[in-house]
Amino acid sequence: MAIAAVSTSATQSMTGADRLCDALLAHDVDVCFANPGTSEMHFVAALDRQPRMRCILGLFEGVVTGAADGYARMRDKPAATLLHLGPGLANGLANMHNARRAHSPMINIVGDHAVEHLPLDSPLTSDIDSLARPMSRWVRRIGDPSRIDHDVAEAWAQSMAPGISTLILPADMAWNEHVYGSDLAHGKRLPQTPLEQETVARIGAAIRAKRKVVLLLTGAALRERPLWIADSIRRATGVEIYAQGTNGRIERGRGRAPIAKLPMTHDGGGALLRDTDMLVLIGAKEPVAFFAYPNRPGRLAPPSCEIVRLAGPDQDLVQALEWLADEAGAQVERISDVPAATAVPTSGGALSVDAVNRLVAARLPEQAIICDEALTSSGFFELSYDAPAHDYLQITGGAIGIGIPMAAGAAVACPGRKVINLQADGSGMYTVQGLWTHARENLDVLTIVFSNRSYATLWGEMSKVGAQTPGRNAQRMLQLDQPELGWTKLAAGLGVEASRVTTVSEFSRALDAALARRGPYLIEAMV
């Protein structure tokens, strides 16, 4: 990695923790989602000396890493996280998994015991390096205080590649003082692999030969401009375009080219791809089924389909689309040819998932940010192409419990914008503590809980495995009633105002009221 030097104040003695903090700020990493412990207190003290760093507490580490993911998706740069030893890291891994699948940049600072203390195997000792690796792109244990700024520079560069960088900070590396020079290392972005013009030509030839070509997009290809490029290619040539099944962020709504997501099922995505001759991956992976089922193929494209990787997530996806538009002779125009959405009911009886999603889509504030962990209560995305312009963030890695934290991170990233989290109830429970962070930071987040009192996904799966009449054990593992979760009480206990609604009219009124105010609110929608 190329590293440039940034001139700071004169040579001075400071702790490694202070140097680490300076180095993060030098890379414009100025938000730290934190759940610190004893071994990180010198770093906490260093953060305390740097008011430019905004420190945001999560009451559980899954909140911390999920918030860092939401922040990164909206800002295209990493936040820092501060995690306490192996168990603290472990608690944050599930949402790191989602961040990894969203290609989000993130820089984890994980405290560890002092170097001499580590072999004593005191109770909180664990193998942090091994725990970090599966979810990290890059892991380093800080071992030379004089190189801390270089470690941060590389952590930053690796995170922008993009991916998750984990820096393990032994306590003595934080507390020891050193005399540092006036230069501070600054990371440079890793060089991108160049695109291959011959791949573009190959795709162009297939299009001209009237073969059935499908473009599969994710990552930066799902922002406003590249989406219009892709849509223009579609209109000019007849190729089909889809977003990957799960994506970190889609710029969506009126003024943006509509795009469907390719369902990650054999009956869904597999059927759509049935006669495809060439599948072009633009940041995306080859589409596969989310889960395996007996006697069902895992790959969704037919065996005869040629799969062409035009660009990977570490390449320039916008340029890839521009080259392809040129090759295909497509003029880039912003022409939406989809019909307007159907009318929305605003009153009536029992509340349904569909009514919630339609009302939210219709009433969406301009430039809202949607976080979608609705799972079996989903349906918003299909309606949202015709909603006001917004950003759409979804669970990417299937590790449930991202919604509430991701909403927190998105709200920190974009203070002027309303964040709406569409939240399944079972999933919301994994990181319910994040509501407290909504309240503590007075974040402008509306959480809408689809309360169906079950792991509804799993009831569907139970029938697929041929269980006719689920017995006591299955019911005890899949039902969330007995007792019912009381989301308004949970929210109140965490400092967030809330209301429970059971009819369309009630939801409509509650939604209007929630959108008219700023700050955190929760609607428990009984569906």
Applying the rule CB under 8 A, the residues between 487 and 526 that interact with its own copies are 487-495
Instruction: List the structure tokens of 424.
Output: 């399944």
Least distance CB 324 / its own copies (angstroms)? 25
Subset of 210-249 contacting its own copies (CB under 8 A): 245-246
Instruction: List the structure tokens of 273.
Output: 């791809």
SS3 percent helix, strand, coil of the chain, rounded to 5, is 40, 20, 35
Least distance CB 458 / its own copies (angstroms)? 7
Options 440, 453, 454, 519; binder of its own copies; rule CB under 8 A: 440
Segment near its own copies (CB under 8 A); pick from 6-14, 334-342, 463-471, 511-519: 463-471
Least distance CB 54 / its own copies (angstroms)? 8
Query: Cα–Cα distance between 446 and 282 in angstroms, integer?
Result: 33
Instruction: List the structure tokens of 443.
Output: 């974040």
Query: Cα–Cα distance between 316 and 127 in angstroms, integer?
Result: 37
Subset of 377-416 contacting its own copies (CB under 8 A): 396-401
Query: Cα–Cα distance between 446 and 438 in angstroms, integer?
Result: 9
- Taking CB under 8 A as the rule, does residue 308 contact its own copies? no
Residue pair 164/155 in contact by the 8 Å Cβ criterion:
no
- Taking CB under 8 A as the rule, does residue 164 contact its own copies? no
> How many degrees, rounded to 5, is the angle at CA 272 between CA 270 and CA 276?
90
The neighbour count for residue 118, using CB atoms within 10 Å, is: 15
Least distance CB 124 / its own copies (angstroms)? 4
Least distance CB 267 / its own copies (angstroms)? 15
Segment near its own copies (CB under 8 A); pick from 35-43, 68-76, 147-155, 161-169: 35-43
Subset of 96-155 contacting its own copies (CB under 8 A): 97, 101, 113-114, 116-117, 120-124, 126-127, 130-131, 133-135
Burial degree of 282 (CB within 10 A; 0-12, 13-18, 19+):
buried
Least distance CB 369 / its own copies (angstroms)? 21
Segment near its own copies (CB under 8 A); pick from 140-148, 275-283, 416-424, 469-477: 469-477
- Taking CB under 8 A as the rule, does residue 307 contact its own copies? no
Query: Cα–Cα distance between 512 and 448 in angstroms, integer?
Result: 13
Subset of 259-288 contacting its own copies (CB under 8 A): 264, 285-286, 288
Least distance CB 216 / its own copies (angstroms)? 14
- Taking CB under 8 A as the rule, does residue 59 contact its own copies? yes
Give every CB contact of residue 463 below 8 A, 6+ residues apart in sequence: none
Query: Cα–Cα distance between 458 and 475 in angstroms, integer?
Result: 11
